[in-house]
């Protein structure tokens, strides 16, 4: 995809796969996006972020530096990733810049889904095929195949019951 829809910025340093769909009003720079991924409107993907193949990113989501999203993941609307747990605007009287802080990485493993409005704190791994509920705040790792919701995100009662039934 090299013919950009209007009001979309895909900077020249973006590694864009084949057949990537970008709906419009997106801002992508210094990141990579795999083949057949679909990026909704008003999405920002920052430098150093990696989005895999066949990933769907819904509108208004923010994918920051340090985030890796593996193949086949679903990212709902307005999902916010975080890469600095203790942010400050100013250091020694001047605005902070790259190098004044350390990016904390986050990984979303293959086939996981993240519901709309979720906030993903930094330094966590969301396991393969896990499902994060809408509006959740994820503060720790989510096991592969787990279903979590709430603030802070914990396994839903139904998911816990299903897990018990399988024991």
* Interacting residues toward ligand COA by CB under 6 A: 76, 115-116, 131, 133-135, 147, 149-150, 156-159
Q: Rounded distance, CA 130 to CA 27, Å?
A: 27
Kindly tell me which of 34 and 115 has the beta carbon lying closer to ligand COA. Answer: 115
Task: State in angstroms the smallest separation of the CB of 49 from ligand COA.
Answer: 20
Q: DSSP secondary structure string, 46-65?
A: -TT-EE-TT-EE-TT-EE-T
What is the distance, to the nearest Å, from the Cα of residue 159 to the centroid of all Cα atoms in its chain?
23
Kindly tell me which of 16 and 148 has the beta carbon lying closer to ligand COA. Answer: 148
Kindly tell me which of 21 and 150 has the beta carbon lying closer to ligand COA. Answer: 150
Task: State in angstroms the smallest separation of the CB of 16 from ligand COA.
Answer: 24
Q: Rounded distance, CA 126 to CA 129, Å?
A: 9
Q: Rounded distance, CA 11 to CA 34, Å?
A: 16
Structure tokens at 24: 């419009």
Kindly tell me which of 10 and 136 has the beta carbon lying closer to ligand COA. Answer: 136
Task: State in angstroms the smallest separation of the CB of 133 from ligand COA.
Answer: 3
């Amino acid at each position: 995809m090299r013919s950009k829809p209007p009001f979309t910025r895909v900077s020249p340093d973006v590694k864009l796969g084949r057949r990537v769909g970008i709906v419009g009003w997106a801002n992508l720079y210094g990141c990579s996006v795999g083949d057949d991924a679909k990026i909704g409107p008003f999405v920002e993907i920052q430098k150093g972020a990696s989005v895999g193949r066949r990933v769907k990113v819904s509108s208004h989501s923010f994918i920051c530096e340090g985030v890796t999203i593996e193949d086949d993941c679903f990212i709902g609307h307005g999902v916010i990733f975080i890469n600095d747990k203790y942010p400050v605007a100013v250091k020694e009287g001047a605005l902070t810049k790259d190098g004044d802080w350390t990016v904390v990485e986050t990984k979303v493993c293959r086939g996981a889904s993240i519901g709309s409005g979720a906030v993903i704190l930094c330094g966590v791994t969301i396991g393969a095929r896990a499902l994060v509920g809408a509006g959740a705040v994820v503060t720790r790792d989510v096991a592969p195949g787990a279903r979590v919701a709430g603030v802070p995100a914990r396994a839903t009662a139904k998911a816990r019951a299903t897990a018990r039934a399988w024991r």
